[in-house]
Amino acid sequence: MKKDTKPQKTLRSRIAYKWWCIKYDLNQMLNREKDMASAKNYTDEMVSTMTEQYSANPTRETVDALAENNLAKLQEVLLLNFQERECM
C-alpha cells in the first residue's frame, strides 16, 4: 500500500496564504484607482481651449455648447474606428 506523500498544509500556512491574498487584492484595488485617476480623456490643448471658452463666457449655454462639440468629436472618432474595423 502506497503512503500519501503529499505534505499536509498546516493551519498557519493556510492563514498566511489567505493573508497574502487579502494584501494582494487590496494592492490591486489601490493601484487600479491610481490608474483610473491618471487616465486622460482630453488633451492639454482641448482642456485649455475649453477653459478659455468658459472663462470668456461662464454660462450654461457655453457648457452645453462645449459638451455638444465634444460629443460630435467623439462620434466622429467612433464612426471612423467602426469603419476601419469593417474594412479589415
As given in the structure block, the three cell numbers for residue 53 are 471658452
In this prediction, residue 56 carries a pLDDT of 93
Hey, which of 10-19, 28-37, 66-75, 77-86 has the most confident mean pLDDT?
10-19
DSSP character string of 3-46:
PP-SPPPPHHHHHHHHHHHHHHHHHHHHHHHHHHHH--SS-HHH
Q: Which of 34-38, 39-43, 48-52, 63-67 has the lowest mean pLDDT?
A: 34-38
- Grouping H, G, I as helix, E, B as strand and the rest as coil, residue 83 is helix
In this prediction, residue 87 carries a pLDDT of 67
pTM for this entry: 0.42
Grid look-up 500519501 returns 4
